Every structure is written in structure tokens, then in C-alpha cells.
Amino acid sequence: MTQDTAPLAGIKVIDWTQVQSGPSCTQMLAWMGAEVIKVEKVQGGDPTRNEMNDVDGSYSLYFLQLNANKKSITLNMKDPEGKKILTDLLKDADVFVENIGPGDVEKLGFGWDEVHKINPRCIMASLKGFNKGSRFEHVKAFEPVAQSAGGAASTTGWYDGEHNVPTQSGAALGDSNSGMHLLIAILSALLQRQRTGEGCYVYQSMQNAVLNLCRVKLRDQLILDRLGKLSYYDCYPNYKWGKAIPRAANAEGGLVLGWCYRAKGWETDQNAYVYIVIQQSKKGFENFCHAMGFEDWITDPRFNTANARDEHKEEVYKRVEEYTMQYDKYTLTKELGAKGVPVGPVLDWYELENDPDLNDDGTIVTIDQQDARGDFKTIGMPFTMSNFTPDYQRAPKLGENNEEILKGLGYSDDQISELLSNGVIGSNDGVKADLK
């Protein structure tokens, strides 16, 4: 890491988060150069340390992939001495991030009012399931809860047949997405503090983060309210429309006609597919026709307008798929893409794990955990900066930095030993695997 260009060099973050939503945010802060001190429970630490662990003597990939580059201190927050240590840490912190249970941080004496008194410059950031004042404010939220309450599940999946059920996205819309939204808020608050000299309280709900990514579904709902149908949905025209927008299947979601088509090898490979978009504009449509050899469609009134194609979706799907099944997904993407057609291969996670481009360009990074696990891969910082590249380091052992952090607060060796004896702090060098 080049410290003179690290965006957050000199920023100190107290990270009282766990599982995925909060740690995804604080890991980004660490990768951008902040000192991130992760506060964990004495017994076990972050619940993901031993959740789905496949290597004895290390920690789970779930934990490692979300907590790289951090320091770890364990504190018994029900002990007055544990609370005193957290208070001391907050006195010179720039950011305090928490996502523990609804109302818990206040019960333990570290709500916004208390934190602001401890350190008026400190920015406090909370991540919860629902908004303050919501009738669900005190409900614990997990990934599928947020996707369900945020409008993602009701619009994902198929609109008919036995699989016509609200469906989760494979993307962590509730967890990591919420963490990235919180990251935006924290960075904004840091810029604001440069002008005001004072920290503020930022609050991010998982429901709101999902809603933000689903805003086009509100667009669709408003159009449905007005027109009673949505011609650009796959179920149109032969569908009994209700009050709410239906699930969209594999449709692109706008006025362009997008669909997922079988490619060569689909009989034995469930991901031998490509996604192709037929653009709405005259130029884009004609470009598609020339690329596919469908020049007859250019003058055919059943296909040469976007509205006509909506009326004849099944015919469009059938002919395009007859073409795509002749070629593998990589050939289709390369050749159609070169001719200006929006197209992409459906890449499975074995392909992504071993993708030469993603491994070479720093999207997928390899980190040496320096224990029984050795190397592991994770998704690195998702954007690049011309003058800065993160120095990816391993995740901390549980309580690994207890002594370093406590000595920085003025604790002596004897005092640290006493804290350990009294169960205020603790540590471990790995856990047993629970996956065999």
C-alpha cells in the first residue's frame, strides 16, 4: 500500500460489526488505508469465524473474505472494564461502525448521544434491518429478510408454474450491498467533517439499500398503476394483471428486449448460456439483425419496432436461440460483441474463480492467511485508482492485537494479564472445521 496516496491513511475506525453487512463496509475502509480495529466477543468472536469452516486451525472463508487488513481486539462488553476500553478507543477514533442487534448498542451505553459526548469529532455509523421509526425497527434482519422487505424477492423469479414464488437473488443485496451504501455515507460524513469540524450520525437500513437497487421496480409499479399492463415484461401480453408488478423472469427490465439463450453445450452444462440484448433504437436493432444474419426482420412489421417485438417475444426468442445454440458462449460473446451487440456469457463460479483476466487485473486477489489454510482467494477492491493499489493482507486471528492496542492505551503487561485472567479479553489461533 502506498501510504501517501491511500485515501484513508490516518483514519482510525472502531469496527463493532459482525457477519457480512458491516464487515463488508469496514473491510473497504481498511483497504483504502484506514486503521480498522475490529471489536469482537471474547468467546468465539465474530460468528462467521467458525461458520462453514473447512480447515482445522484456521477460520472460515466467510470470515476471511470480509475481514482482511483489520486488527482484532476482544472485549467483554458486559464488563465495566471492557466498556472502559471501548470508551478509550473511541476518544481518538474518526469513525465508529456498528451493526449489532437493534437497540443493543444503546443498552450497552454506546448510542449516538453517548459517543458524541465521548468524542464530538467521531462519526458514528449504524447498519440495521429497518429504518428508525419503522414498525419493523426492532426486527432482526438477515440477507433474505432484507431482500423480501426491499422489493427484490417479489420481483425475482418466474411469474407462472410451480416455481412462481418470491425468489432471492444470488447477489448479497441485503448484506454487502448495505455495507457499500453505508460506506458511501461514511465517506460523505468524513468530507462533511472537514467543513464542520464535528462528526455526525449516519444510519443505513438494509431495507433501504435493497430499495435503492430496485428503484426501477418502483418505476414499473407506477406505470402499472396508470396503464394496467407492462408491455416490456416477459409475461405480456397473455397475463392476468393484478395490482402489483409480477416477477420479471429473465427479461432485461426496460424497453430493450433482453433474454438468456442456450449456447452450444447446454445439454450437459447448465450455464452454457449467453444473455443478448436487442436494443430499442432503429440503429441498434439493425446492427443486431446484420450481426445475426436476420436482415429480413429489418422490414418485417412483426419485428422492426420495439412494440412489435414485445407482441412477438416467443418468435424472437425461438429464432435467436436457434442461432445461439450453434456456438459456444465465449465465441458468441467475442464475435457478436465485436459487431456491437450487447452480449455476455453466463459465467459460473468455477469459471470466475479461474478467470485469467480477473486474476491478472486484481479483481480476484490471493491472500496468504499464514496458518493452516495458506492461500485463499477473495474479491478485491471493486474499483481502481490510478495512483493507489491496496496492499491486501490476511485477516487477524481472534484477539491478535489485544496487547498492541491495550499498550497503546497505556495498559501495562500486568494489567493486560489481569484482563485476560478476568475474561475481559481473550484470543485463539484458529477453530475446528465444521464442514467435512
Nearest CA to 142 among 20, 319, 5?
A: 20
Three-state secondary-structure class, residue 336: helix
DSSP annotation of 153 reads G
Nearest CA to 425 among 404, 402, 409?
A: 402
**Alpha-helical segments (H) within 197-327:** 206-213, 215-227, 282-292, 306-311, 313-324
Cβ-proximal residues to 40 (8 Å cutoff; 6+ apart), any chain:
18, 46, 72, 73, 74, 75, 398, 399
How far from the centroid of its chain's Cα atoms is residue 412's Cα? 41
CB atoms within 10 A of CB 382: 8
For residues 272 and 282, is the Cβ–Cβ distance under 8 A? no
The reply to whether 54 belongs to the active site is no
Return the C-alpha cell found at 331: 465465441
Return the C-alpha cell found at 197: 469540524
Catalytic residue among 15, 94, 175, 328: 175
Q: Which residue has the cell 493507489?
A: 388
For residues 329 and 273, is the Cβ–Cβ distance under 8 A? yes
Return the C-alpha cell found at 338: 465485436
Return the C-alpha cell found at 95: 469513525
CB atoms within 10 A of CB 326: 11
Catalytic positions, please?
175
